[in-house]
Amino acid sequence: MKSIVCTKLGEPSLLEIKDLSKPTISDEEVLIKVQAAGVNFPDALLVQGKYQIVLDPPFTPGNEVCGTIEDKGKNVDLPVGSKVIGLPPVGGFAEYVSLNKNLVIPVNDDFDSLAGASLPINYGTSYYALKRRANAKKGETLLVLGASGGIGTASIQLAKVMGLKTICAVGSDKKESYVNSLGADEVIRYDQEDLKETAKTLTDGKGVDIVMDPVGGEASEQALRATGFNGRHLVIGFANGSIPKISLNLTLVKGVSIVGVWWGRWTNTYPNETAEDFVELISYVNENKLDIVPKNVYSLQDTSLALENFLKRKNIGKTVIKF
Ligand SMILES: NC(=O)c1ccc[n+]([C@@H]2O[C@H](COP(=O)([O-])OP(=O)(O)OC[C@H]3O[C@@H](n4cnc5c(N)ncnc54)[C@H](OP(=O)(O)O)[C@@H]3O)[C@@H](O)[C@H]2O)c1
């Protein structure tokens, strides 16, 4: 089977495509024939050895796939041929993946594979952050930093499902058009406008209720300063490359909370609650409340190009590899 392999930590261009033998399965595992694999910012960090988890090469990146069950162990109930979303710890950028049955989520056979491969990380993280870490309430205002990115796109769409008003911060004309196409309520060009002042003006001086922050750097403090009383600042990641240091007195004088979000750790610790969230997310798709359409579809051969776009700040929307 064809597989992307990181043989040496470094730039995504070092990734190789190799012919490997199909993985074998244990009694508790399924073999998935991958139809699509989601690509994420952490993949670009992982292959460089810059992610919070550092792996020794050789390894195949990729943590979210959608495909059909090709084979199964004797203790697995799911039928061969059925469609599933899979959450491999590694190995998703390959034609076949073996996975423990607990890391597989069944979906209808007509569930779109590109949507399935897009759902776990971006939509899972954003939903967990809004629902469980911010306790978002209908009618609240959400400021999304890096709003045209993977996390940003999922946050805008989920905010609509949850009845939140969105203020979307983006850094280019193309990104502005994209978030408008997703139905952003307001847009801030934080490459041109003062983030804090504009967000305050857009909320009539009250400040935003929630900040979704996958960006870090200087924008984080500006966004925190733009929150109103009882605000929640969700710390998702540092795409900007710099980890801000915030004076804690800000949280006191404004009565706001800075809330860390690590979806991967939560899914390992709370599998039942994770499963509940997946049931809800999948039902939003099935009921046409959530339309997940990846903007960038690559072939396996072009995986390194896909990863480079994240590092060059060029990524817009969700990225997947189609097999
Ligand atoms: N905590 C968790 O559980 C969790 C889960 C998934 C992802 N993450 C993290 O979330 C972060 C964002 O992921 P994503 O998939 O949304 O990435 P993405 O699609 O690349 O979006 C990130 C956004 O950040 C902004 N940005 C600002 N400075 C940047 C820079 N120097 N380089 C790249 N982007 C920059 C860009 O928007 P503008 O150009 O408009 O500013 C970009 O659209 C990553 O750090 C990732 O590791 C965390």
User: What's the average model confidence in pLDDT over 214-242?
Assistant: 97
For 127, the enclosing helix (H) or strand (E) is: helix 124-127
Mean pLDDT for the chain?
97
Digit-coded pLDDT (tens) for 181-220 = 999 999 999 999 999 999 999 999 999 999 999 999 999 9
Q: What is the pLDDT of residue 20?
A: 96
| Residue 242 predicted with pLDDT over 90 | yes
239 vs 244: CA distance, rounded Å: 12
Q: Which residues line ligand 1 (CB under 6 A)?
A: 40-42, 121, 125, 146, 148-152, 170-171, 175, 214-215, 236-241, 261-264, 310, 313, 315
66 vs 244: CA distance, rounded Å: 36
Digit-coded pLDDT (tens) for 156-188 = 999 999 999 999 999 999 999 999 999 999 999
- Residue listed under structure tokens 């983030």: 195
Q: How many angstroms does the Cα of residue 41 sit away from the middle of ligand 1?
A: 6
Digit-coded pLDDT (tens) for 254-312 = 999 999 999 999 999 999 999 999 999 999 999 999 999 999 999 999 999 999 999 99
47 vs 321: CA distance, rounded Å: 17
**Could you tell me the domains of the chain?**
2-112+292-322 (3.90.180.10), 124-263 (3.40.50.720)
Q: How many angstroms does the Cα of residue 151 sit away from the middle of ligand 1?
A: 7
Q: What is the pLDDT of residue 97?
A: 98
In the structure, what pLDDT confidence band is assigned to residue 52 with cuts at 50, 70 and 90?
confident
**Alpha carbon 192 to chain centroid distance?**
26
| Structure tokens, 268 | 């390992």
Q: How do strand 83-86 and strand 227-235 relate by DSSP bridges?
A: unpaired
In the structure, what pLDDT confidence band is assigned to residue 106 with cuts at 50, 70 and 90?
very high
Would you say 304 and 15 are in contact if contact means Cβ atoms under 8 Å apart? Answer: yes
Closest of 42, 38, 46 to residue 238, by C-alpha: 42
Digit-coded pLDDT (tens) for 36-45 = 999 999 999 9
